[in-house]
Amino acid sequence: MTEYRKGAKEEYDTNEIKREQKFGAHYKWIALSNTTLGALMASIDGSILIISLPAIFNGLGVNPLVTGNIDLLLWLLLGYTIMSSVVVVTIGRLSDMFGRVKLYNLGFAIFAIASTLIYISSYLIAGDTGVLTITLLRLVQGLGGAFLFANSVAILTDAFPANERGKAMGINSIAFIGGSLIGLLVGGFLAAIDWHLIFMISVPVGVIGAVWAYVALHEIASVQKDQKFDILGNATFALSITLLLIAITYGLLPYGASTTGWGNPFVEAGIAAGLLLLLAFVFIEMRTVAPMFKLALFRIRAFAGGSLSLFLSAMSRGGLQFMLVIWLQGVWLPLHGVSFENTPLQAAILMAPLIIGFLAASPLSGYLSDRYGPKPFMTAGMLINAVGFAVLATLPADFSYLPFAIIILVMGAGQGMFNSPNTAWTMSSVPPEYRGVSSGMRATLVNVAFMFSLVLFFSLLIAGISVALPSALYNGLVSQNVSPSVAMRVSQLPPTVALFAAFLGYNPMKTIIPANVLVSLPVVNSNTLLGTEFFPNLISKPFIDGMQIVLYAGAFMALIAAIASAWPSGMREKKEERRR
């Protein structure tokens, strides 16, 4: 810790005076405020649809659960993240070559224009065409978001001395990760007022941010215009990530008699081709003169350990967020008398302790890591999360809210403790000329980890549910005078349909039981089937069995992330820290 503070002090003495003389003493705070605004808006837009999808589909007059429309649902939900993941490393490399501020400004402009077009189109085009139009424009918006993600951390690393980076990253990480949590609340509230506002909110922020960035931000790092652009490497990487993300996304959907799509030839071929192209990318990068990403950076233990722990922490965090929403909307809230239509907003409100814990711990952890070094806080944060996952796994399906709130509050604090020190530690370990591409790689790791965790955790949940749900569903339907033949047919439907229905705020039983069957039943039986308690009581035991598998997997990932965070630096890096 003494060496960390000494290295930070030396860098402050040599570089801070130059920065202040050229750009003014307050420039670093201008950079922090603008990049925080950009990261906040881009991150909110990545998650704001999770809660608000029911209102959007209802407003456009589309049933997302009809055969053929689930593809639209997945692309509207995940297209933004897929686009950001595919292009962010390429943008990071271009930023090192042509200027981080310049491309950051371009990203804000793209984001603002796409946001405006989405808002306008939401009024003009309805039906499947409306969903498709918004989805395509969300891809463009994701491109603008990738420019912001790729450069915000690099701009801050350039603007702040080493002894203040943890504090700066702590504030910025509130926007980057906190925004994804805040997006749940914002989406839920705006959807309850007017679903068009979900798209409108990013328009004024995008325009103001774009103008402000153009006027106020300046290039600090020297650009590398003499370097060549690795066309083959960039194309190979983009295609491999695209294939992998699309394939694993379709792995969520049932295929044939299977509850998931892992046996789908399209999914298998996509994963195989994506992995082969990823291997080809590594081969290309090891032999090109000007690689898209300098793989030698992974020889730096701080960068390698920080990247591994970041990926695993993002895996556990992304899956946790999605699973808790399903738990609340599909089981807990209906058991407490909340109609399925009102569960999205209520779930967002009940997730608030997770947000509060993160917002409270992140800047404090960043400040303390500047003084005492990042590793203790990174390691402790992930250990707290590992314990939190294990404790969550002991809760029943119908838990008491206070213990649940305390657990997710502490887990949010653990995530906040980890994130800002990890960002400062990893970014400070790389040479200044590679900070743009390093920032892009970090953003890619977070986005890809989110996608992987969503698919992995959802698949584990379905695997756990699929064992006991068919018999529970069959017996429950027969007990309500549904004929055995119809009950058998309904019980064999993929549980994915029921969970997606609950996630979207639809009554799952109304979705999976044919309408003519419901009409033919006695009123008392149909009312029971469509009540708020029948489905959650039916699914509680299978659901919690699957949820325990998910939570123990999250605990394992968090534990490995803690080990990677505590990994000791090499002698060469200790010398580099003292020199900086």
188-222 pLDDT, tens digit per residue, is 788 878 889 888 888 888 888 888 888 888 777 66
- Other Cβ atoms less than 10 A from the Cβ of 114: the count is 25
Whole-angstrom distance, CA of residue 184 vs CA of residue 539:
25
Whole-angstrom distance, CA of residue 250 vs CA of residue 73:
11
Q: How confident is the model at residue 396 (pLDDT cuts 50, 70, 90)?
A: very high
Whole-angstrom distance, CA of residue 482 vs CA of residue 354:
41
For the segment 532-547, the average pLDDT, to the nearest whole number, is: 86
- Other Cβ atoms less than 10 A from the Cβ of 567: the count is 16
How wide is the angle at C-alpha 208 spanned by C-alphas 206 and 213, nearest 5°?
A: 95
Whole-angstrom distance, CA of residue 343 vs CA of residue 320:
18
Taking alpha carbons only, the member of 547, 546, 539 closest to residue 469 is 539
How wide is the angle at C-alpha 73 spanned by C-alphas 71 and 78, nearest 5°?
A: 95
Letter for the amino acid at 261?
Answer: G
Highest mean pLDDT among 149-158, 385-394, 507-516, 564-573: 385-394
- Residue tagged 């213990």 (tokens): 403
Q: Which of 5-14, 169-178, 366-375, 560-569 has the lowest mean pLDDT?
A: 5-14
Q: Which two tokens stand for residue 157?
A: 């690393």
Burial of 431 (0-12, 13-18, 19+ CB in 10 A): exposed
Per-residue pLDDT at 25 exceeds 70: no
Summarize pLDDT for 410-438 with one digit per residue, the tens. 999 998 899 878 877 887 777 777 776 77
Task: Calculate what percentage of the chain has a pLDDT beyond 70.
Answer: 89
Residue 170's alpha-carbon distances to 44, 153, 178, 360, in angstroms, are: 17, 11, 11, 10
| Torsion sign over Cα 65, 266, 84, 354 | positive
Task: Calculate what percentage of the chain has a pLDDT beyond 90.
Answer: 15
| Torsion sign over Cα 482, 483, 487, 489 | negative
Whole-angstrom distance, CA of residue 574 vs CA of residue 580:
10
Query: Helices marked H in 328-400 — which ranges?
Result: 333-335, 343-350, 352-372, 375-392
Q: How confident is the model at residue 12 (pLDDT cuts 50, 70, 90)?
A: very low
Q: What is the end-to-end Cα distance of the chain in Å, rounded?
A: 14
Residue 578's alpha-carbon distances to 19, 134, 160, 305, 369, in angstroms, are: 21, 51, 18, 19, 16
What kind of architecture, by CATH, is found in domain 2-8+23-219+290-464+542-571?
A: Up-down Bundle (1.20)
pLDDT of residue 369: 82
DSSP 226-276: TSPP-HHHHHHHHHHHHHHHHHHHHTTS-BTTBSSSTT-HHHHHHHHHHHH
Better-predicted residue by pLDDT, 549 or 494: 549
Q: Which two tokens stand for residue 449?
A: 């980890």
Q: How confident is the model at residue 577 (pLDDT cuts 50, 70, 90)?
A: very low
Do residues 419 and 364 touch, judged by C-beta distance below 8 A? no
Do residues 456 and 319 touch, judged by C-beta distance below 8 A? yes
Summarize pLDDT for 37-47 with one digit per residue, the tens. 888 887 788 77
Whole-angstrom distance, CA of residue 494 vs CA of residue 260:
8
Summarize pLDDT for 226-284 with one digit per residue, the tens. 667 777 877 888 888 888 878 887 887 777 777 677 888 988 999 999 999 989 988 88
Summarize pLDDT for 332-357 with one digit per residue, the tens. 999 998 888 788 778 888 988 988 89
Per-residue pLDDT at 575 exceeds 50: no
Highest mean pLDDT among 125-129, 321-325, 568-572: 125-129
Whole-angstrom distance, CA of residue 60 vs CA of residue 72:
12
pLDDT of residue 23: 60
Burial of 239 (0-12, 13-18, 19+ CB in 10 A): middle
Per-residue pLDDT at 76 exceeds 50: yes
Q: Which two tokens stand for residue 534?
A: 């029948």
- Write down the pTM of the prediction: 0.78
Whole-angstrom distance, CA of residue 98 vs CA of residue 109:
17
Tell me the three state secondary structure of residue 429.
Answer: coil
Q: What is the CA radius of gyration of the chain?
A: 24
pLDDT of residue 13: 41
Residues 6 or more apart whose Cβ sits within 8 Å of residue 316: 385, 389, 453, 554, 555, 557, 558, 561
Per-residue pLDDT at 115 exceeds 60: yes
